[in-house]
Amino acid sequence: MIIAFIGLGNMGGGMAANLAKHHAVRAFDLSDSAVAKACDAGCSKAATVAAAVAGADVVVTMLPAGQHVRAVYSDVFDHAAKGTLMIDCSTVDVDSARAVIGQATERGFDMIDAPVSGGVKGAADGTLTFMCGGSEDAFARANPLLDIMGKNVFHAGDAGNGQVAKICNNMLLGIHMIGTCEAFNLADKLGLDAQTFFDISSTASGQNWSMTSYCPAPGPVESAPSNRDYQPGFAAAMMLKDLRLAKEAATTARAATPLGAQAESLYALMEAAGEGGLDFSGIMRLINGRL
């Protein structure tokens, strides 16, 4: 099978390398160094989108945002052969995902949105989680390739629903991370140490993933970024991107998301303080005044 892979950055580089263990992968990116890295991992260089896509069976994209996805696919549609399957793994706004898949369908292509969670390590290790939106047929065709790049693959429904699942999950994650920081900070200020509060709350009704798997207070969860000076992990700037996508989608859908909006404001403050590169659990430093 010939795969055109467009967007070989932190995530796409690892994903393309895993596909190249099983298929012929043509690599295209605006960055020469990203393409060179992909070629070292077994891909072949394509000089343009057209060269990557011509005669390929599948196109996979992993691009920064909606505007890049819209621009790249307008080129892809002009050069792809009939029957080409298209998989966009980028995290983008729901409207862009639905618009581009709509154009693909009008042109007779199968296409899904398939954003991921699992980070750069998951991309390199082939253990990503995929949240997919699109027709049953397109999803079934994509599944064997998603299995190479990931560990968990979900079909969330029609076009764009992969993006919906991703931003709703990450909005909830941002909210409970901040709530967890507030609770640990208040406990500390009132004289209750982090480990004792963790032991109690992690078996009581305050228990949540931010606490038990990723505790923002140093100490209780050894593998958490809080024990490595909040080095990412999942950067605060990435969380801010996802919270902004959630806010945009909530405005369009006329859904009330007051806590999501508050979380977005707090992560924006963290970025404005020059700390967007810290892990998102580093929001603890904003809450406890140590930023």
Residues acting as catalytic residues: 166
**Among candidate residues 1, 57, 56, 50, the one with its CA nearest the CA of residue 28:** 50
Q: What span, in angstroms and rounded, lies between the C-alpha atoms of 272 and 90?
A: 25
Residue identified by tokens 């999942």 is 234
Residue 81 binds to ligand NAD (criterion: CB under 6 A): no
Q: What is the DSSP string of 67-105?
A: HHHHHHHHHHHHHPPTT-EEEE-S---HHHHHHHHHHHH
Residue 30 binds to ligand NAD (criterion: CB under 6 A): yes
**Which of 3, 5, 12, 18 forms a contact with ligand NAD (CB under 6 A)?**
12
Helices (H), the chain: 10-20, 32-40, 49-53, 66-79, 94-106, 119-125, 136-149, 161-189, 194-201, 209-212, 236-253, 258-272, 284-287
Residue span 111-130 as binding mask against ligand NAD, x where in contact by CB under 6 A, dash where not: -----xx-xx----------
For residues 47 and 204, which CB has a smaller minimum distance to ligand NAD in the complex?
47
Q: What span, in angstroms and rounded, lies between the C-alpha atoms of 262 and 280?
A: 15
Q: Which stretch binds ligand NAD (CB under 6 A): 62-70, 98-106, 153-161, 182-190?
A: 62-70
Residue 195 binds to ligand NAD (criterion: CB under 6 A): no
In this structure, what token pair is assigned to residue 197?
Answer: 């509060």
φ, ψ dihedrals at 147, nearest 5°? -65, -30
Burial, 256: exposed, middle or buried (Cβ in 10 Å; 0-12, 13-18, 19+)? exposed
Site for ligand NAD in 208-247 (CB under 6 A): 234, 238, 241
Q: Which stretch binds ligand NAD (CB under 6 A): 7-15, 131-139, 177-185, 188-196?
A: 7-15
**Which of 4, 19, 34, 112 forms a contact with ligand NAD (CB under 6 A)?**
34
Residue 72 binds to ligand NAD (criterion: CB under 6 A): yes
Residue 27 binds to ligand NAD (criterion: CB under 6 A): no
Q: CB of 278: closest distance to ligand NAD in angstroms? A: 14
Binding residues (CB under 6 A) for ligand NAD: these are 6-12, 28-31, 34, 62-64, 68, 71-72, 90-91, 116-117, 119-120, 234, 238, 241
